[in-house]
Amino acid sequence: MSTSPEPIRPKSSAFSRYLFVLLFGLVLGAVAAVMLLNAWKARQDPFPESLMHVQGWHMKQLGTKASENRCAATDIIPHLKALRVTADDLETAFPDESDDERFRKHASAMRATLDEAQANPPINCDGVNAAAAKIGENCKACHQDFKG
């Protein structure tokens, strides 16, 4: 009678100690995970994706203008200019990728296309579509090698 509680007490206290260590470990793990996630988020640079979205926006504008039959120089050239200026930042935006010669070639090819489009600006909407298609090829070429 008197010996029966004896083996139970150490067992249950060992169990609660293990449980405590387990829970403590879980909490510590969760805290560490949150801290790591925050650090990772803070380190992520918004610039490269922003640059891409700005270029995407200007490309879309070219398509919209052409579909609306607004293809005067004043409609089109600002977007070509914006694409050309932002194309100068491709290497800065993707410092790791720009170590690769293929990346630098794709960036140069895009700048060359845009220089040509500005030197011989499209005079009608067919020309705008053709210029946009050429620029789009440059986007695609780089994305095939470096995106995703």
Q: List interacting residues with ligand HEC (CB under 6 A).
A: 48-49, 52-53, 55-56, 59, 83, 90, 94, 97, 103, 106-107, 110, 135, 138-139, 142-143, 146-147
CA pair distance 96, 36, nearest whole angstrom: 22
Q: Among residues 61 and 127, whose Cβ is nearest to ligand HEC?
A: 61
CB 79 within 8 A of CB 55: no
Q: Which amino acid is at 81?
A: K
Nearest one of 25, 6, 128 to 72, comparing CA atoms? 128
CB closer to ligand HEC, 71 vs 107: 107
- Whole-angstrom distance, CA of residue 116 vs CA of residue 6: 91
What is each CA distance from 60 to 13, 40, 48, 84, 103, in whole angstroms?
A: 68, 32, 18, 15, 23
* Spatial contact of 93 and 48, defined as CB atoms under 8 Å apart: yes
- Cβ distance to ligand HEC smaller for residue 66 or 142: 142
Residue 54 or 127 with smaller CB distance to ligand HEC? 54
Taking the complex as a whole, the smallest distance from the CB of residue 36 to ligand HEC amounts, in Å, to 20
Cβ of residue 56: shortest distance to ligand HEC, in angstroms? 4
